[in-house]
Amino acid sequence: MIHVSIIGATGYTGVELVRLLGLRKDVVLDHLTSRTYAGQKIQEVFPHLYGSIDHTCEEMDLEQVTADSDVIFVALPHGHALPIAKKAKEKGKKVIDLGADFRLKDTAVYEEWYKVAHTEPGLLEEAVYGLPEWNREAIKDADIIANPGCFVTSILLGLMPLMKKGLVVPGSVICDSKSGTSGAGRSEKVDNLFTEVESSFKAYGVAHHRHTPEIEQLLTEMSGTETLIQFTPHLVPMSRGILSTIYADVTGGHSAEAIHAIFEEAYAAETFVQVLPAGMWPMTKSVRGTNVCQIGVTVDPRTGKVIIVSVIDNLMKGAAGQAVQNMNLLFGLDETTGLNTIGLFP
Ligand SMILES: NC(=O)C1=CN([C@@H]2O[C@H](COP(=O)(O)OP(=O)(O)OC[C@H]3O[C@@H](n4cnc5c(N)ncnc54)[C@H](OP(=O)(O)O)[C@@H]3O)[C@@H](O)[C@H]2O)C=CC1
Ligand SMILES: CC(=O)N[C@@H](CCC(=O)OP(=O)(O)O)C(=O)O
């Protein structure tokens, strides 16, 4: 049995972890923490869990959580995973952080983009970036896993086959991403009110979104060449889903067929990345509720640009699903355990 605690179990990613792990026969949910709902049954806070998950939310007692758990999922705002990971490490327990505290390797970059002091540079050095399709072997032996950002996952999976082959012209990448509102979390924000979001569509974080350095760090690692990108996120009136359209110049004048073949080969063995046949383009609804990333790719023969369209469910492959995939790897399980579902369509 794997003993699991979820810190921040009443946020959107936390409750998705509860949904994914709560009925597993090989998992015991030890502690579900929340400040607001401490003392309340989670099935009363979230009626979709009614009759399935009987746990009561509690305030976090870090000593107890780290004593009881084999793995601790941290689904809190940035900065809050640092003391938890420190205590877990002292007690020899694993941490999977859904936030950004262990993603950026340079503390100065973290502090510049997140405006939070990084108090655990030593732990940062040993944390492993949790994108299994890139880093599978390292994840298996990690103590601290930095689960990637949601936009980041869609963009990295979209570009990885070309970056690994060094085919992308540095500085040419433009990432244009759209997210549903659950990407912003469950706390009250005027920007996420129905009346603000409904019948509308807007860009935000233009030229300064905090996923930019994370994407650049990973693309640089993948290609071995310092890579800057242009990234613009947008908010669209849907609850779940991310669609990223990525444009890049490639070296060597490859045809659409050749580029498509590179993607098919790169992901042939990957359960959670599906390269669609030429001419078929992904939509967010196809991956809703799944841990799958679907990718469409072509080359525009007029401009020579590669166009990649990548979709994920931000709460699944973009957060909780990927975190469970990482947990499966950590505990030597089949990576797909508990994640084999087909999307909810329509
Ligand atoms: N939503 C998404 O699509 C994705 C989110 N992430 C990241 O995952 C983490 C969780 O996100 P998400 O679930 O959306 O967030 P939510 O805002 O939905 O939930 C946050 C959770 O943390 C608790 N919390 C909030 N503030 C504090 C605090 N100051 N101290 C302790 N607990 C706090 C909340 O409960 P309470 O206030 O009751 O304690 C709640 O359980 C964040 O770091 C986010 O950036 C990553 C990828 C995708
Ligand atoms: C729609 C929306 O607001 N999305 C969030 C991204 C959430 C995410 O991936 O989380 P991390 O903060 O863990 O990187 C945003 O743009 O900030």
Q: Which ipTM did the prediction report?
A: 0.98
- What pLDDT does residue 325 have? 98
Residue type, 169: V
Q: How far away, in angstroms, is 172 Cα from ligand 2 center?
A: 24
Sorting pLDDT into bands at 50, 70 and 90, what band is 253? confident
DSSP category for residue 30: E
Cβ atoms of 310 and 246 closer than 8 Å? yes
pLDDT of residue 236: 97
Chain-centre distance for alpha carbon 243: 13
Quote the CA–CA distance of 145 and 241 in Å, as a whole number: 23
183 sits in the region (left: phi over 0; alpha: psi -120 to 50; else beta) called: alpha
The pLDDT tens digits for 173-185 are 999 999 999 999 9
- In single-letter form, the type of residue at position 155 comes to I
How big, in percent rounded to 5, are the helix, strand and coil portions of the chain? 35, 20, 45
Residue 338: the pLDDT is 98
pLDDT tens digits for range 185-226: 999 999 999 999 999 999 999 999 999 999 999 999 999 999
How does the average pLDDT of the chain come out, rounded? 97
User: Does ligand 2 lie within 6 Å of residue 229's CB atom?
Assistant: no
Which of 6, 20, 35 for mutating ligand 1's site (highest number of atoms within 8 Å of CB)? Answer: 35
The CATH code of domain 2-126 reads: 3.40.50.720
Residue 184: the pLDDT is 97
Task: Give the phi and the psi of residue 204 in degrees, each rounded to 5.
Answer: -150, 170
Rounded distance between C-alpha atoms, residue 60 and residue 3, angstroms? 16
The number of the ligand 1 atom at minimal distance from the alpha carbon of 314 is: 3
Query: Could you say which ligand is closest to the alpha carbon of residue 77?
Result: 1
> Ligand nearest 155 Cα, by number?
2
Ligand 1 atom with the shortest distance to the CA of 184:
1
Taking the C-alpha atoms of residue 224 and residue 142, their distance in angstroms, rounded to an integer, is 23
CA distance 183 to 315: 7
Task: Give the list of residues 6+ apart from residue 223 with CB closer than 8 angstroms, or none.
Answer: 163, 164, 166, 168, 170
What fold, for 151-314?
Answer: Dihydrodipicolinate Reductase; domain 2 (3.30.360)
Q: Which of 194, 273, 187, 280 is nearest to 238 (CA)?
A: 194
* Sheet (strand 94-97) strand order: 27-33, 2-7, 71-74, 94-97, 144-146, 128-129
Which residue carries 């003993």 as its tokens? 3
Average pLDDT score over residue span 227-251: 97
Q: Is 150 a catalytic residue?
A: yes
What's residue 221's pLDDT? 98
Give the number of whichever ligand sits closest to the CA of residue 38.
1
pLDDT band, residue 46 (cuts 50/70/90): very high
Distance CA 295, CA 2 (A): 33
In the chain, residues under CATH classification 3.30.360.10 are: 151-314
Distances 186 to 182, 190, 290 between C-alpha atoms, Å: 7, 12, 20
**Residue of the CA atom closest to atom 29 of ligand 1:** 77
Using the predicted structure, report yes or no on whether residue 243 has a pLDDT greater than 90.
Answer: yes
What are residue 233's DSSP bridge partners? 177
Report whether pLDDT(344) > 90.
no
Rg of the chain over CA atoms, in angstroms?
Answer: 20
Task: Using a cut of 0.95, tell me whether the model's pTM lies above it.
Answer: yes
∠ at Cα 181 (187, 72), nearest 5°? Answer: 60
- In the structure encoding, which two tokens stand for residue 78, read together? 């940035």
| CATH 3.40.50.720 placement within the chain | 2-126
Q: Which residues does 148 contact at the CB level (< 8 Å), separation at least 6?
A: 103, 129, 130, 131, 156, 214, 218, 322
pLDDT of residue 182: 98
Q: What does the block give as tokens for 222?
A: 């993948």
Residue 234: the pLDDT is: 98
Q: Are 297 and 307 in contact (CB under 8 A)?
A: yes
Say yes or no to pLDDT of 345 above 90.
no
| Per-residue pLDDT reduced to its tens digit, 259-282 | 999 999 999 999 999 999 999 999
The residue among 36, 41, 144 whose CA lies nearest residue 86 is: 144
